Amino acid sequence: MLFGIKGLQKFSPAGQIETARVVEAIAEAEEITSAEIRVHYTVCGSKLPLLEEAQKVFEALEMHKTENRNGVLIFLRLRKHEIAVIGDEGIHKHVGTEFWEAVKDEIIRNIKTGSITDGIIKGVHVVGKQLSKYFAPSDENPNELSNEVTKNKIY
C-alpha cells in the first residue's frame, strides 16, 4: 500500500523544470539515506484522481521493488497545478501523514517564491534529510532506482 498526500493548492510553475539540477539534488539526498527518490511530472491531461495517477506512476517506475520498501515519488501535474508526494509502506510507518503534508507544503512554498525547480529540489532535500533518520545508507548504499526525472504518461 502506498501512502501520500495530494496538494490541491494551486501553484504557478514558473519556467521549465531544470532536470539536471533535480537529478543532482536526488543524488545528494541519496548519499545520506538508503531511501530512493524519484520525480515525475506530466503536462498531459488525466481523468484519474491525482493520487491514483501518482500510484500508477510509482508502480510503473517499479518503486515498490526497493529492498526496504523505501521509495518516495514527487509527482507533479503541471497542467492542473497539482502535486502528490507518496512513499512506500516502509517509509510511511516511520513518518506518517504529517510528513507527506509538510513535504508537499515546502515544495509549493518554494515554487511560489522561486521556481518550480527550486521547489522540487527543496522537497528532495527535505525527504533525504528526514529519511536519513530512519534509513541510514549502508556501506555500499546501492542506487536501486534511477535518479532520472521522468515525464508524461508511462503506465
Q: Which residues pair with 37 in a beta bridge?
A: 72
DSSP 8-state class, residue 81:
T
Positive or negative, the Cα torsion across 145, 147, 148, 149?
positive
Express each pLDDT in 24-45 by its tens digit. Answer: 999 999 999 999 999 999 988 8
Phi, psi (deg, nearest 5) at residue 46: -150, 145
| Confidence band, pLDDT 50/70/90 cuts, at residue 8 | very low
> What is the set of domains in the chain, with CATH numbers?
3-151 (3.10.310.50)
**pLDDT for 92-149, tens place per residue?**
889 888 888 899 999 999 888 878 999 999 999 999 999 999 999 888 878 899 999 9
Instruction: Please state the pTM of the whole predicted model.
Output: 0.90
Question: Which three three-digit cell numbers place residue 90?
Answer: 516502509
